[in-house]
Amino acid sequence: MKNKIMTAKEAVAPIKNGASIMVGGFMACGTPENLIDALVEKGVKNLTIICNDAGVPSRGVGKLLTNGQIKTLIASHVGLNPEVAQRMNTDVEEDKLECILVPQGTLAERIRAGGTGLGGFLTPTGVGTIVAEGKQVINIDGRDYLLEKPLKADVALIRGSVTDKFGNTTYNATTRNFNPMMATAAEYVIIGACEIVEVGEIDPNNVVTSGIFVDAIAGGEKPWQI
């Protein structure tokens, strides 16, 4: 079996300027902070970040924003990080943030569609709102739905609670959120793990993410205070 265990720095080494990166977590609960820190240190720029929210300035993807590394943010909620509004409205062209807001359920489902080979799905969410702009409306059995397309990325940064050396992963409590879908929808998947165990130690009934999706595993994560 190929060794996947490495440092956070080694794990983020292949990530290039302009990469699209999915980051697990909900208000940074379930975000791999060590991997974010390694990405801040690496300093890659012009990133497209796909995350439920913008975290807060000192946590989660908020750190990448503060450090000026994000060009485009795809998220469902950014209200708890005041830097988002500042950067969206800045006159300094090179600091300007593009923020694409997606309803939370649609965001989760688009990522799932990306990972599962669907060409899209029909959701009632957003019909008749500005979310529908530019999207095909399809009527099924008398009800209108928006056609939403799949979302994929170059990289996914995943926070695992327990990960075995193959990459089989479980998520504790509400840290699960977007992590399982993101782990299926990116070319290069890194698990930031709280605990790394031997293969076989996790009950096969309880594994959530299969190791087949995982390219790199870095330890040292913990349940971080928001």
Q: Contact positions toward a second copy, by CB under 8 A?
A: 109, 113, 117-124, 138, 140-141, 143, 145, 147, 149, 170-173, 204-206
Q: Which of 39, 44, 79, 84 is CA-nearest to residue 65?
A: 84
59: phi then psi, degrees, rounded to nearest 5: -145, 150
Task: Scan residues 174-203 and list those touching other proteins (CB under 8 A).
Answer: 174-181, 184, 199-200, 202
For a second copy, which is the closer residue by CB, 143 or 222? Answer: 143
Q: Is 69 in the site for other proteins (CB under 8 A)?
A: no
Dihedral sign, CA of 210, 211, 214, 216? positive
Q: What is the dihedral of CA 201, 25, 213, 190, to 10 degrees?
A: -90
Residue type for position 131: V
Which of other proteins, a second copy, none does residue 119 bind (CB under 5 to 8 Å by kind)?
a second copy
Is residue 52 within 8 Å of residue 188, measured between CB atoms? Answer: no
| Cα 31 to Cα 173: distance, rounded to the nearest angstrom | 13
For other proteins, which is the closer residue by CB, 34 or 175? Answer: 175
Q: Is 204 in the site for other proteins (CB under 8 A)?
A: yes
Residue type for position 114: G
For other proteins, which is the closer residue by CB, 17 or 116? Answer: 116
Q: How far is CA 178 from CA 110, 140, 160, in A?
A: 11, 28, 12
CB atoms within 10 A of CB 31: 32
Is residue 81 within 8 Å of residue 52, measured between CB atoms? Answer: no
Q: Which listed range, 12-20, 32-40, 61-69, 162-170, lies at the site for other proteins (CB under 8 A)?
A: 162-170
- Residues near 78 by beta carbon (within 8 Å), at least 6 away in sequence: 53, 54, 84, 85, 99, 101
For other proteins, which is the closer residue by CB, 93 or 204? Answer: 204
Closest approach of other proteins to the CB of residue 73, in Å: 10
For other proteins, which is the closer residue by CB, 32 or 42? Answer: 32
Closest approach of other proteins to the CB of residue 15, in Å: 21
Is residue 121 within 8 Å of residue 113, measured between CB atoms? Answer: yes
Task: Scan residues 5-64 and list those touching other proteins (CB under 8 A).
Answer: 26-27, 29-30, 52-53
Which of a second copy, other proteins, none does residue 145 bind (CB under 5 to 8 Å by kind)?
a second copy
Task: Scan residues 83-102 and list those touching other proteins (CB under 8 A).
Answer: 85, 88, 99, 101
Q: Binding other proteins by CB under 8 A: which of 213, 216, 217, 221?
A: 213
Which of a second copy, other proteins, none does residue 149 bind (CB under 5 to 8 Å by kind)?
a second copy
